[in-house]
Amino acid sequence: MNEMHGKRREPRAFWPALVLTVLAGGLLPLQFAVNGALADHLGSVTLTGTLSYAAGTLGLLVLLGLSRQRPDWTAARQAPRWSWLGGVVGSAYVVGSVVLTQALGTAVATTLVIAAQVVTAIGLDHLGGLGLERRRVNPARAGALALVLAALGLRLWGAA
């Protein structure tokens, strides 16, 4: 069996999740390019982030309506206060990605972001931060981190 988020999963459940994750990851450079183009037309990264989140919110509201799922506001009020900061973090991410894409191009910006995501994720897992299950750095994770940082180094070397 495979492990995902600390829970044992059947192989049949693992592969669709893996494919969806790869497809979702492929959206990252598309998001950078689309938001960069919008920022070029608007002349404002803040307005670009605002419109990006407004469009995303509209899309999510449509999906929520189609699912007929209703918010559980009691459960939402009981969530840790810091867990409500996802939108703020996401907004900073969108604005930062626009600035990075304009300054460095999509490939370098995406590579930097992915490397930063891996470093942060390994750190959060190692510490068990933000309520995550603790997963210590082991040789395989350290090796993966080294490879990601090596890829970043190669990408930056090629960008010069």
pLDDT in tens, 47-84: 999 999 999 999 999 999 999 888 899 999 999 999 99
The pLDDT, as a whole number, for residue 68 is 86
Residue 13 has pLDDT above 60, yes or no: yes
Count of H-run helices and E-run strands, the chain: 6, 2
* Distance set, CA 11 to CA 14, 17, 24 (Å): 5, 10, 20
pLDDT above 90 for 139: yes
Q: How far apart are CA 104 and CA 159, in angstroms?
A: 9
pTM for this entry = 0.72
Judge whether residue 128 has pLDDT over 60: yes
Sign, CA torsion 25/26/29/32: negative
Measured CA to CA, the distance from residue 110 to residue 112 in angstroms comes to 5
**SS3 state at 3:** strand
Give the pLDDT score at 10: 63
Q: Where does the chain show beta strands of DSSP type E?
A: 2-4, 7-9
What band does 1 get if pLDDT is binned at 50, 70 and 90?
A: very low
pLDDT class of 9 with cuts at 50, 70, 90: low
Domain residue ranges of the chain, discontinuous segments joined by +: 29-159
The least confident of 7-11, 101-105, 130-134 is 7-11
